[in-house]
Amino acid sequence: MPRRTRTQDVPRPFLKWAGGKGQLLDELRARVVLGQPFARYHEPFIGGAALFFDLHRCDMLPEGRSLLSDTNERLIEAYLGVRDDVDGVIARLRMHAECHSRDYYYQTRARVPDDLAGRAARIIYLNRTCFNGLYRENSQGEFNVPVGDYRNPMICDEANLRAVASALSRARIEARPFATVLDYARPDDFVYFDPPYHPISKTASFTAYAKDKFGESDQRELAAVFAELTMRGVKALLSNSMTDLIRDLYRDFTIEEVYANRAINSNAARRGKVPEALIRNF
């Protein structure tokens, strides 16, 4: 399959995100090439936005505005803060880097600043210094990960943040559920869906990104949205786990098996290559 090489190192994801697509980028980019040309790019489960930044680095995003969304409001605030006030975010992150200690981490975790740049910097700082670098919220929607044990965490990566701000400058970024993509996508647009994966087994699930879990009914609703977009002439690509439910829900589309190294699994013995499904309607 045709591939494009990277033209530059930045922008890259500025948050470590469970389910991040860093390991699958070559496979995903090759499918995006098959979907070209398209008018606008949509990502309704943005997370760390690994594919969006990759496409930006490879100069593969179209002229039209990209539409990026997710239901996690703190995550969306981080994107908006970096886009709209990168200087403010960098200044706060420098301060966090200077003050970083175990106690300072817990003080910062306990206090949500009033301003957008402060909230964005708080999430980036916590994400860079927390245990295992994973984002998790309790039932009240509060970030509840303990401090990690890094020697020299990279808290303020200024060059990357500036490149991220520039990549986001023309993007529409909103906190909203995935099904609202139906209100925005037009024929010839391209949508990449990277939902919380359907669990392979009960213990394998990692769907606690936010207080609302993503269950089987959500997977069914997503498949219905995928089918509706297909009817409307919107190109859609989706990644998920390779389970019987997923094979069944997308049986009318092209389903390909690809392999990625999954890093986030508390049991190190279970880390390794697992099959994942890439599904497309073009």
Q: Cβ closer to ligand SAM: 38 or 209?
A: 209
Interface residues for ligand SAM in 63-82 (CB under 6 A)? Answer: 70-72, 75
Q: How far is CA 128 from CA 96, 190, 214, in A?
A: 11, 31, 25
Which residue in the set 27, 29, 47, 86 belongs to the binding site for ligand SAM (CB under 6 A)? 47
Question: At 84, phi and psi to the nearest 5?
Answer: -95, -20
Binding of ligand SAM by 48 (CB under 6 A): yes
Give min distance, CB of 120 to ligand SAM, in A: 16
Which residue in the set 44, 81, 118, 133 belongs to the binding site for ligand SAM (CB under 6 A)? 44
In one-letter notation, the amino acid at residue 94 is R
Give min distance, CB of 214 to ligand SAM, in A: 5
Binding of ligand SAM by 210 (CB under 6 A): yes
Which residue in the set 45, 105, 125, 250 belongs to the binding site for ligand SAM (CB under 6 A)? 45
- Nearest residue to ligand SAM by CB is 47
- Piece of 14-22, 113-121, 157-165, 263-271 that binds ligand SAM (CB under 6 A): 14-22
Binding of ligand SAM by 133 (CB under 6 A): no
